[in-house]
Homo-oligomer: A and B are copies of this chain.
Amino acid sequence: MARRATRTVRVGDIAIGSGAPVSVQSMTKTHTADVDETLAQICELAELGCQITRCAVPNRAAVQSLRDIVAGSPLPVVADIHFDHRLALAALEAGAQGVRINPGNMKDRVGLRAFYRAASQRAGVKVRIGVNSGSIRGRKGLEVCEHEGDLAELMVSETLEYCRDAEEQGLHNIVISLKGSDVPSTIAAYRLAAGRCDYPFHLGITAAGPPAASIIKSAIGIGTLLAEGIGDTIRVSMTGSPHEEVRAGLAILEALELRQQRGVEIISCPTCARCEIDLCELVEEVERRLDGLPLKARVAVMGCVVNGPGEAAEADVAVAGGREFGYLFLDGRKLRKVPAAELADAVVAEVRRLQPREDRA
């Protein structure tokens, strides 16, 4: 799928835009004023594969810690700021590689422009102009938003007005976000904006809720847009740990093949009446024993011979279960018959024997 063409914007050493891979970000949930706690969480997120972190900066105490956080962080740090442009200016002074604002809630319009000018003077600093449906509805009243199309149009036109304002002050390193708390309005807003500007897009569903609900809403909303070539950096937001946000974000990119699979991908059938073995148990065992293996490979664990051989052709190593015996496949070729009780051992051994191969899977 072709990516929508955008300008490239830098946030520290990460490029955002169609000239760069789609990046994954999250947001710390510690008190930003607590440097140690916040840096510890950023390091954990970086370890998982997170590429950009955001920290809320609600007050002076938080902004005073920001310099140490930026200095110690392995990831570029974006300061999330509301209401007060002075906090945004102070975040630039502290060395933040990005600032996220919602111009609609900035109280001092003259001060906001001073911030845009200050940000435009710093290389490698981006400003995200992030509007969400709640902030639009909250200000304009419910009555104008009867249809998702109306809301999308409002969100996009308001955001692009803000961007013009920033551009007039010389700021061009702009990323925008248009988050709805429901999936259809979010998709509609980004689709609409895609044709009207060349700013890179930060994708997410805001206030998506607890993990189970958030993962489904985010995978659909972010995934649909990415599958249409729209989106340059993503954040899965959930009322839960930021670690899970990062894992879900990476999984979305991997599912769309926008990011190399890290480790072994297991494909497995849903089982049915044809299945004569305990496939769930076999998959769990294989998954557990291959977890963390630094090898890009696809492993198929199939319950029977209906789809097994076909899926085997798409996998590096595969097994198709039978009542007493299963068949082991390597690179799509049937290798040998294996007693059912030894299938897990056989699959794991074959995968471990694979040579790292860049073009695999």
Contact = CB atoms under 8 A, between A and B. Distances in A.
Interface residues of A, number: 92
B135 A273 contact: no
B137 A310 contact: yes
A94 to B, nearest CB: 14
A196 to B, nearest CB: 20
Contact of A181 (B181, B182, B228, B311): B311
A206 B308 CA distance: 12
A356 B253 CA distance: 40
A124 interface: no
A256 B220 contact: yes
Given A220-B224, A224-B224, A255-B220, A268 B56 contact: no
A310 B270 contact: no
This chain: copies in complex: 2
Interface in A229-280: 237-240, 242, 245, 248, 251-252, 255-257, 265-275, 279-280
A231 B267 CA distance: 23
Nearest to A309: B138
A113 B307 CA distance: 23
B206 A239 contact: no
A272 B29 contact: yes
Nearest to A266: B209
Contacts of A265: 209, 213
A206 B58 contact: no
Contact of A27 (B184, B270, B283): B270
Contacts of A210: 266, 268, 283-284, 287
A85 interface: no
Contact of A207 (B184, B221, B239, B311): B311
B302 A267 contact: no
Given A209-B268, A239-B270, A267-B208, A310 B135 contact: yes
5 contacts: A55-B273, A138-B312, A184-B257, A215-B216, A239-B279
Interface of A: 1, 27-33, 38, 54-58, 62, 80, 82-83, 105, 132-139, 141-142, 181-184, 187, 206-210, 212-213, 215-217, 219-221, 223-224, 227-228, 237-240, 242, 245, 248, 251-252, 255-257, 265-275, 279-280, 283-284, 287, 300-302, 304, 306-307, 309-314, 332
